[in-house]
Amino acid sequence: MSQQAPEKPKGRGGFPARVWSTLQHGDHVEVWSTDSFSYAACVDDRADDGTFIWVVEDGMGSRHLLVRGDPVTLYSI
């Protein structure tokens, strides 16, 4: 049985951030996982080539490392 990514809610004003290298420190994103979770976060740091990105989760303040190829989709908000 294959898992599908949760559908991005309509009307949130976001778009898929396909090129992680365009994201900058302070950009706000939503992180959507194929494991059916999502959270809002702020970009903290990233590799120059966009292969990985650090985000700080809103509310909790947890810092997460996301690597290109991880089962997540980022949406700019």
Q: Say which residue, 74 or 56, is predicted with more confidence.
A: 56
**pLDDT for residue 69:** 85
Indicate whether 5 pLDDT > 80.
no
**pLDDT for residue 7:** 57
Q: DSSP secondary-structure letter at 27? A: -
pTM of the model: 0.75
> Would you place residue 6 in the very low, low, confident or very high pLDDT band (cuts 50, 70, 90)?
low
Per-residue pLDDT of 9-57, as tens digits, reads: 554 545 565 678 889 999 999 999 887 889 999 999 999 888 899 999 9
CATH 2.30.30 fits 15-76, yes or no: yes
Q: Where are the domains of the chain?
A: 15-76
